[in-house]
Amino acid sequence: MSNLKDIYILGIESSCDETSVSIVKNGVDEIATAVLSQMDTHANFGGVVPEIASRMHIENFTIVIEECLNKANMTMDDITAIAVTYGPGLIGCLLVGVNVATTLSYIYNKPLVPVHHIIGHIYANNLVSKMEFPLIALVVSGGHTDLIYMEDNYKFKKIGGTLDDAVGECYDKVARVIDLPYPGGPLVDKLSSSGKDTYPLPLPLDDDTYNFSFSGIKSAVMNLVHNENQRGNEIRNADIACSFQNRIIEILTKKTMKALKEYNVKNLIIAGGVSANSGIRNKFKELCDKEGIKLTIPNIKYCTDNAAMVAAAGYFAYNKKIRAGLDLKADANANMF
């Protein structure tokens, strides 16, 4: 079924709590993806329990690989190379994915391509629309908040990033303060649409740099809730969610739109779990339309962790002859720059 010129990358992702395998053709066409999410299990504990996550990855991988190949109506013989997330992430979880990938690479004699998790998030955008260079990538996930200038494929220059918490981490902490269950980010987003922007929260790190800081607004929400409780005042959770989300959107859009101008870039891509946020999606759409900027954001199901993004990035890494040996190491703190 496969054309000899076509490149089929089998992507493997297990850096956190999703066991995912995907096949992507030529870096842009998703052929099939299978995911087993552990979210319900971890929700019982209020967050991801690393040991449980690793064990569930071990149990789930064979099922997910088989499901993905079946969905694609392909066998391992049709696969050109195997791409795997080697980091950053939870070390036990990464180890399982790396072991699965190296084993498949050894058994089926396929090249092994290491993919940085955040680069995966960035390339999820290629599944929507071909990335046009130069571009600015805004990465907003549970572990990262970065503004990146990309001159070309696989050329990354960080122009700013968070000095403390990542934006997703901040969403999850605010969610906990207003008693929303894990994972809180999407729930804060949902709740904010029924609230009003009435609480005077600070605009975080409103300066001339491209850096971000979210620990201040997180503490402001905590203090606000604490003080209102002490005074016996009613806490309007939807209004807190709305005020918080508006300040986050304000600072993300302000710095990103400035970077687009300064770097004279016509394509903005947004990547990472928080790119699923409805307010962020809507506001960037409005601003980019006004400025004549092409905006690309992954489809909601590819905003959070998945293997399609790993296979998409893996194609460009494969073309750049980036390879790993069977001694590939998982790296919980893998650096991208």
CA distance 28 to 129: 8
Binding mask 240-269 for ligand KG4 (x = CB under 6 A): ------------------------------
14: contact with ligand KG4 by CB under 6 A: no
d(CA 10, CA 254): 38
State the minimum distance, in angstroms, from the CB of residue 183 to Zn ion: 12
For 219, phi and psi rounded to 5 degrees?
Answer: -65, -35
Site for ligand KG4 in 275-294 (CB under 6 A): 276-277
Instruction: Identify the sign of the CA torsion 333, 254, 298, 264.
Output: negative
Question: What is the closest distance, in whole angstroms, from the C-beta atom of residue 171 to ligand KG4 in the complex?
Answer: 4
* CA–CA gap between residue 104 and residue 326 (Å, rounded): 10
Verify binding: residue 141, Zn ion, rule CB under 5 A.
Answer: yes
Paired residues of 114 in beta bridges = 84
Site string for ligand KG4, 162-181 (x = CB under 6 A): ------xx-xx---------
Task: Give yes or no for residue 183 binding ligand KG4 (CB under 6 A).
Answer: yes
Q: Which stretch binds Zn ion (CB under 5 A): 196-204, 279-287, 288-296, 304-312?
A: 304-312
Residue 267 CA: distances (Å) to CA of 137, 138, 287, 309:
9, 11, 13, 19
- Which of residues 60, 162, 256, 304 is near ligand KG4 by CB under 6 A? 304
Q: Least distance to ligand KG4 from the beta carbon of 252, Å? A: 11
What's the CA gap between 11 and 33, in Å, rounded? 9
Give yes or no for residue 189 binding Zn ion (CB under 5 A).
no
Q: Does 137 bind ligand KG4 (CB under 6 A)?
A: no
- Three-point CA angle 158, 212, 116, nearest 5°: 40
SS3 of residue 22 by DSSP: strand
Among 27, 143, 160, 195, binds ligand KG4 (CB under 6 A): 143
Q: How far is the CB of 108 from ligand KG4 (least distance, A)?
A: 28
Instruction: Using alpha carbons, select from 204, 210, 197 the residue that is nearest to residue 246.
Output: 197
Stretch that binds ligand KG4, among 38-46, 184-192, 193-201, 221-229 (CB under 6 A): 184-192
User: Residue 8 or 171: which CB sits closer to ligand KG4?
Assistant: 171
Contact in structure between 13 and 86 (CB atoms under 8 Å) = no
Strand partners, 157: 149
Q: Would you say 142 or 195 has its CB closer to ligand KG4?
A: 142
* Residue 189 binds ligand KG4, judged by CB under 6 A: yes
In whole angstroms, the minimum distance from the beta carbon of 70 to ligand KG4 comes to: 26
DSSP secondary structure string, 145-207?
A: EEEEEESSTT-EEEEEEBSSS-HHHHHHHHHHHTTPPSSHHHHHHHHHTTS-S-S-PPPTT-S
User: By CB under 6 A, is residue 274 in contact with ligand KG4?
Assistant: yes
> CB 273 → Zn ion: shortest distance, Å?
6
Residues that bind ligand KG4 (CB under 6 A): 16, 121, 141-143, 168-169, 171-172, 183-186, 189, 272-274, 276-277, 304-305
Residues that bind Zn ion (CB under 5 A): 141, 305
